[in-house]
Amino acid sequence: MSKSLYIGATGMQAQQANVDAIANNLANANTPGYKKSRVSFTDMMVQDVARTNPLGGAENEVGLAANLARIGAGVRIAATGKMFDQGELKRTDSALDIAIQGDGFIEINMPDGSVAYSRGGTLKLTKEGQLALASGPTLKASMVIPDSAQSMTIAGDGTVRYRLAGQSTDVEAGKIELVNFVSPGQLSVVGDNLYKANEASGEALNSSFGDVGVGTISQGYVEASNVKMVEEMVNLMIAQRTYEANVKLVQAADEMQGMINNLRK
């Protein structure tokens, strides 16, 4: 059986996954805080043709001749990761909208007791006065904002303060800390712009505001998607043309098999 059929099939499968990732990027081009996905490819195991060639003659070759006896077996997906390029910060003037300018993530308490990580977004106050994401999970930072608070401010270093009616000074409620990762692009996606750590991303690293590579929190802003429409459309055309080339390869291999089958006629 011609190996070209299987090699072409792996190329078609890989490019289909690439198109799916691009389609998801385009669908979320206007989703606040969305980070675009990128599919990485790698070649599959190289096969030593000399050992399986019934005609023989290449077992003892060395150097260039030996390399010519090896062919690839196709392509496969190496990884699907997120690109955490900074998205545009859009001003909302809402005290409960926050965005991270630079690197870093906010720790989030999930309902199952685990910890997830967010790049910010629209917050809300729970009945207990805790800061939470609009989707429900609360921030890990321990603080309580009373119902009687007239205003709330979040400084660039994450310090949260509120002011009560009739008072002229702010009360410090707590601080939102940022964490970083060795390989943030490998974080596991759990939906709602939330991520979880894994072996590939490494554990969360505590960071201090002012350190190199650590971002700051901007209140009254939301981070837009970092998807660039022109770039994604170009990637889509390239993926489509590559898919077509692999289809042609499968068709050519099929025609060659048909010629072989017709030799006896």
Higher pLDDT, 59 or 257: 257
- 205 and 232 housed in the same domain: no
Mean per-residue pLDDT, 99-108: 93
- 69 and 158 housed in the same domain: no
E strands, the chain, are 37-43, 47-48, 70-71, 75-82, 89-91, 97-101, 105-109, 115-118, 120-125, 131-133, 138-139, 149-154, 159-164, 171-175, 178-180, 188-191, 194-196, 205-206, 216-219, 221-223
Tell me the per-residue pLDDT of 208-233, one tens digit each, with 9 for 90 and over: 766 666 789 999 999 999 999 999 99
- 77 and 199 housed in the same domain: no
Name which of 18-27, 71-80, 83-92 the model is least confident about.
71-80
- 22 and 132 housed in the same domain: no
Q: Say whether pLDDT at 88 is over 80.
A: yes
- 112 and 233 housed in the same domain: no
- 94 and 185 housed in the same domain: yes
- 132 and 70 housed in the same domain: no
> Model pTM?
0.80
- 101 and 183 housed in the same domain: yes
Quickly state the pLDDT bin for 195 (edges 50, 70, 90): very high
Split into its structural domains, the chain has a count of 2
State residue 265's pLDDT score: 58
Q: Which domain holds residue 211?
A: 89-223
- 244 and 177 housed in the same domain: no
Tell me the per-residue pLDDT of 48-74, one tens digit each, with 9 for 90 and over: 555 544 545 545 555 555 555 567 788
Q: Say whether pLDDT at 194 is over 90.
A: yes
Is there a contact between 124 and 136 (Cβ–Cβ < 8 Å)?
no
Quickly state the pLDDT bin for 80 (edges 50, 70, 90): confident
- 211 and 153 housed in the same domain: yes
Q: Supply the angle between the helices 229-261 and 3-27 in degrees, to the nearest 10.
A: 160
